[in-house]
């Protein structure tokens, strides 16, 4: 049995009207919170997904992620260079990898993602996997919209989804 604890490090990004909690483990970013989300969002995620791993604030360790997300929010970058570390079922991971292939400024529908992963009848399951995405922005679930073009469910809220899509249209 492995009793080694692997800490999850976190920090708060504050840039203009954006306030996001970020968390990373040794291998990469593992959580991006909602727009103006409370610390409780991060602690609830950690309790559910990393129950035996201490949650430690570490500005220095998170600095590269804070800088990269700030560059994205300011329009200075359109690509993510830093590593991401996420855990999920094989189906969730397939969906999340498909999301990572959506180019900056482009949207896809839930049914297009289901087709892409070879599961055309699994549109609702795709939606559930997208809703479980722990690393918003880096896994760009905000780029997935309804078949009719409507903005639909987003863990960060529809206001955040709209702001991100608007940012990427500029």
- Catalytic residues, by residue number, are 141
C-beta separation of 135 from 31 below 8 A: yes
For residue 29, the surrounding DSSP H or E stretch is strand 28-32
Q: Is 18 helix (H, G, I), strand (E, B) or coil?
A: strand
Sheet architecture: strand order including 18-25: 28-32, 18-25, 8-15, 55-57
């Amino acid at each position: 049995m492995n009793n080694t604890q692997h800490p999850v490090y976190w920090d708060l990004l504050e840039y203009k009207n954006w306030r996001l909690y970020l968390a990373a483990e040794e291998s990469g970013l593992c959580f991006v919170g909602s727009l103006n989300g409370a610390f409780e969002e991060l602690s609830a995620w950690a309790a559910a997904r990393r129950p035996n791993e201490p949650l430690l604030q570490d500005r220095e360790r998170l600095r590269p992620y804070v800088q990269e997300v700030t560059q994205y929010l300011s329009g200075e970058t359109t690509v993510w260079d830093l590593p991401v570390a996420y855990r999920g079922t094989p189906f969730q991971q397939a969906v999340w990898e498909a999301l990572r292939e959506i180019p900056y400024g482009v949207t896809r529908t839930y049914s297009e993602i289901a087709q892409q992963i070879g599961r055309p009848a699994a549109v609702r399951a795709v939606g559930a996997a997208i809703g479980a995405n722990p690393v918003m922005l880096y896994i760009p679930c905000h780029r997935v919209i309804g078949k009719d073009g409507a903005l639909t469910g987003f863990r960060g809220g529809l206001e955040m989804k709209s702001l991100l899509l608007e940012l990427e249209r500029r």
